[in-house]
Amino acid sequence: MKLINFKNLLLLQALALPILLFSQESDQEEVNPYEVLLDAINKNADVEKQFDIKRFNTIEAKVIELRNIKIKLTNDLRAAEELSDQLSAEFDDNESQLSELEEKLTLKLGNLGEMFGVVRQVAGQTKGEFENSISNLQFPERNDALQKLTEKRKLPSVEEIKVLWVELIKEIKNSGDIVTFNSKVANADGSSEEADVLRIGLFNLSTDGILVKHIPEINEIENLPAQPSGVRKGALRKLQNADEGMFNVTIDPTRGSLIDKLIQAPSFFGRINQGGLVGYFIILLGLFGAAVAGERIYVLRNTLQDIEADNVNSSSDNYFGELLKVAEENSSLDFESLQSMFDEKIQGFLPKIESRVALIKLIATVAPLLGLLGTVIGMIATFQSIQIFGTGDPKLMAGGISQALVTTMLGLIVAAPLLFLHSYADSYAKKITDFLDEKSSGLISKRLKD
């Protein structure tokens, strides 16, 4: 069925009309317009037919091309599946042959198989020890050979076993060496700097008398956050700069664990700080008591020396001089009156003599009680922490109890010396009063004789 293009039909009609008019005017010949229209339709139908034929041929060519591609892909898939089946069969055969060969190899190896396992085990353990050793800073390349020996899937050669043996002997030698080598040392702020590092066997690392720490995970050196107490920096510095000789230096046989524990342990002032406000108050109270005791002992000792001097008379500015003055001024009194005046005078001296001596004993008594108060407060805080965090960490409870007992320790430290100082000061006061009583009795006896 042929379709008529109406746009082309209208165009042909518009073109044909002037032609017809022109023909009528020129030669006055009559032309049938429908014949012209029919010719135009036939020509347009031929053009569309050619276009349809061309488009059909193009589509048919593409269909043929796609059919050929499909056939090729189907053939390729079939070939790939056949190759896969062939390779799978070969793989299964190879696995079977490999299993048979491994069984034969195991039978032929005998005790050598156990030796291979031992060598691999020793190589793995040795590699781990070397990585944690401070000598790994100088000889990091030895781990590569041990890693290869650990990963080896067949019997090691004699040379490879010899390498393991030699490295073990070298490490034994390193444990007795004291050497200096250059390495980077990391600081707390993340920066690093080159420094001469002293290695003491397999125990300690130090630079310029300061202990440093080996980080096995990255095989580097870093400065410690603090230096443990008791480390002889001068001896370490001399050892690093000396070529020979004997030096008394500090080492850590645990290769760093003990130093870490010592760093975490609080210092003397850190212990005091753990006592808190109660601890500081006890310390201030102890210092005040010591000052009072020192002042009393100094004054009473000088007073005793003054009254025991040979040149004491009624004009002397001391207690005995005042007694002599009373005896001279009241020479006419009877025995009982004079004794009464002496007793009254000595009783007047006692407040000055015993002044603040009892305060020393009071402070010595109160200090342990304040320490006990601080311990109770600390234990309350410890049990509150246990209530919140539980008892899963024994270090938390032990640390809290340790801090709580600091105040008791401070109280006892203050009380014990103050008790001795009080006894010392009180003995001077008693010596003075006994001396005055003795001298007053002597003066009365002398009056009786006269």
pLDDT (tens digit per residue) in 232-263: 778 888 888 887 778 788 778 887 778 877 77
pLDDT (tens digit per residue) in 46-61: 777 788 788 888 888 8
Mean pLDDT of 206-232: 83
Mean pLDDT of 404-424: 92
Domain positions in the chain are 6-85, 116-255, 273-449
pLDDT (tens digit per residue) in 328-387: 766 666 667 777 777 777 777 788 888 889 999 999 999 999 999 988 888 887 787 777
3-state secondary structure string across 264-333 = HCCCHHHHHHHCHHHHHHHHHHHHHHHHHHHHHHHHHHHHHHHHCCCCCCCCCCCHHHHHHHHHHHCCCC
Kindly state the tokens that stand for 161.
């076993």
Please give the C-alpha separations between residue 148 and each of 22, 76, 130, 374, 404, in angstroms, as whole numbers.
106, 44, 15, 62, 55
Rounded CA-CA distance 223/217 in Å is 16
Mean pLDDT of the residues in the chain: 80
Rounded CA-CA distance 44/8 in Å is 8
Please give the C-alpha separations between residue 115 and each of 118, 145, 425, in angstroms, as whole numbers.
5, 18, 82
User: Which pairing describes strands 178-186 and 192-200: parallel, antiparallel, or unpaired?
Assistant: antiparallel
Rounded CA-CA distance 156/158 in Å is 7
Per-residue pLDDT band at 11 (split at 50, 70, 90): very low
User: Which pairing describes strands 178-186 and 220-223: parallel, antiparallel, or unpaired?
Assistant: parallel
pLDDT (tens digit per residue) in 285-320: 999 999 999 999 999 998 888 877 766 665 666 777
- Total residues found in the chain within this entry: 450
Kindly state the tokens that stand for 217.
């995970």
pLDDT of residue 228: 80
Per the DSSP assignment, residues forming a β-bridge with 186 are: 192, 222
Residue that wins the pLDDT comparison between 443 and 218 = 218
* CB count in 10 Å sphere of residue 89: 10
